[in-house]
A and B are shown apart, each in its own frame.
Chain A
Amino acid sequence: MNNYLTDFWQATPIVSLAIFALLTLIVDAAGKDKPVLSYWMSLIGIVVAAGFSVASLGASTPLFNTMLAQGGYSSYCNLIFLGSAFLCIVLSRNYLERLQYHRGEFYVLIILATVGMMLMAAALDLMIIFLGIELMSICLYVLAGFIRKKEKANESSLKYFLLGAFATGFLLYGIALIYGTAGTTNLALIGKSFPQLSHNSLFMIGAGMLIVAFSFKVAAVPFHMWAPDVYEGSPTTISAFMSTGAKAAAFAVFVSVFIRTFDIGGTKLSDVLAIIAAVSMIVGNVTAIAQNNLKRMLAYSSIAHAGYMLSGIAAGNIEGETGILFYLSAYVFMNIGAFGIISWMEQQDDKKLTFDDYAGLSSQHPAVAALMAIFMFSLAGIPPFAGFFGKYYVFLAAVKAGMTWLAIIGVLTSLISVYYYLRLVVLMYFRDGQASIEEKVSAPAMAAISCAALFLIVLGLYPSLVVDIAKGFFKI
């Protein structure tokens, strides 16, 4: 029997973050009415976990009886999740103080959700995937309804919870069928027998149910119905966290199950995913045009982005995997940046969330308008920002896998998306208006958002920085 105690010492990123979640909880309980303590504690925890993730980039021995991977792929994904959580926490402090809901539990739940995400990325066993998804989702259900007095927040929390529980049912049933046919929940063993199993209809039903559950978590059409309502009703910084960290974690699982384990290139599963990707791109982009509320617009845009990334998974090749890893690192920062600026503009009772509220922003707040423009250009996929290369890599993967039609749909729908992203830029710069930010933006929040924008530009100019790292992770 292995000595699991040493394994705990090796799984440092996850274990340290879990310990910091507990510390944050204790600090919150001990220091009455001082949520600022929890704020700092959670930030320290994230930095420590990020440090351990970087330190363990080179490690590759599986831990806990091949339940948990370390290093490489999982460390890279950890950094994405931790970046998303860090930005979300920094942005949340002022936002929650303004709404008079600044409480320490908020940070504890974000940290615990991040632990769940890290488990999802590092999982080598279907059981760990399930536990990670549940840990993340339960925290998000609560965070979505954190502003308890707001009716819309309650609606979004309940809606997310009920539909999420339904998706969990699909996930468990899928895992049960896969276990029934493969005789194991270990991903490596399932992957080894995948060529035979892929002719087994029960196994394929199980794999299809996994697609349903994961597509729900990434908000891909036709499992996207919850996303606009939930993003609209949740606290804006939590919408940012859900549409970046949670989505990135779901994609990390998608990649590790469907590319790294099943190797689906050229199978029926890849056709199914290609159709989901195409429909997501079309529905997400076309519906986003009609939105007037910015949070809803970003919700539909995030559905479209899920479609772009799914085309990389449908391709199922090395380009697809590296493309998605690059796309995720760009997407997380541009989307959280856009949501962050919306959270600065937003006033109580959901005011100042429409396009028209941003008219003439550049004359009052040139720096904020410039940052928003960078995020919009990047989301639209205009070079030299990182969003362009993200799309380039996933579409290239689709072409290489012989799915040129998918890449064509992707490019055409990206053109549609330019309309609604640039509409905001045009409003900010070329329309007269009284757009202004009522309260002063805190220096850390401004610095965080500026760093995200800078990161997008650097990544857009030197994409090989990330791609080379990502390529090294393929099948370790």
Chain B
Amino acid sequence: MFDIVGFIISLVSSLGIYIILTLSLNLEYGYGGQPNFGQALFYGMGAFVTAILTSNLLFLFAHQPLANICTITSLVQRESIATSNPAATLLAWAISGLASVLVGALIGFAASYPALRVKEEWYLAMVLLVAAQIFTIIFSYDTSLGCGFDGIAGISNPFAWLTSTSIPVLNSSYAFPAIYAGVIALFAYLCYTLTERLTNSPFGRQLKAIRDDWLAASTLGKNVNAIRAQVMVIGSAMAGLAGWLYVYYIGVANTADYTSTFTFSIWVMMILGGFANNRGALTGALVLTLINELTLVGSTLVQTYIPGFNPNIVNYSKYLLESLLLLILLIYRPKGLLKESRIKTPAYTLFKEGEKSGE
């Protein structure tokens, strides 16, 4: 009865995306000391850029005329292209991915300017929160940009065309979601490697220095503003990437997915795992993804087995648990589960050798 394969695919896909987002926030705040309360903005922009671009590109590459992407006809047409035309689909997918990363990076760059100008610490948080809200309003209501409240639908899985091939197993209804889950996992792994390399390097050292004492770091030759901008660009590019991956997974770009509540849950993941620790980011993402997925399962179970009981209560409990978790963490264990990791560069090996030879 219970769709275990579907569950695992859903788990891996969500986990991969959350890992990328948590790693990004960890880089910005855990290592870099910059609190990003507007992740939903970069994530959402990546998603919407993808949705709009790919919907138009699909028609372009399939040599069909461009039309309003918000109509049902457009949706049906795009789905049929996605299931029949691998070249167009994959090309559109790749290009929209590049665009999302670029747009994320650009907005991140723009967002680093308020960081320089604001007087109080938490003003930056306020600016980003408000910017995210403005983004939500514009994309919810402007039908030339988004498709209104329903969002932009019809973003099919980039491997959906496998179902129309005659290859056994690969053309089953489980194959293409599973393959895409694998792709998400691959990108998550790439991001993890990237972040680990970045943080275990002289650049990572600079980040921590600026985080701990930016004035002192400045007197040691570090260009604080430039480095902060660099971190924001990298972090938001990652968030844009996550948005691209997510939209193709969920099939629709809807502003309701990119809220401050969502930004908040990424913060819970990062703080739970322990900040300035990339493995911690993985851990935090895992715990919360599990909670999310179990909530979905629980909600369905409740609907099936306990009729009359509002299944939304399961969802509400999830948000309740999340916030309670963060409160407990902040009060009793603000450093999170895993300790802050050292900047592991080869320099340490030199000293370790000295230790071993008993100097």
Chain B associates with chain A = no
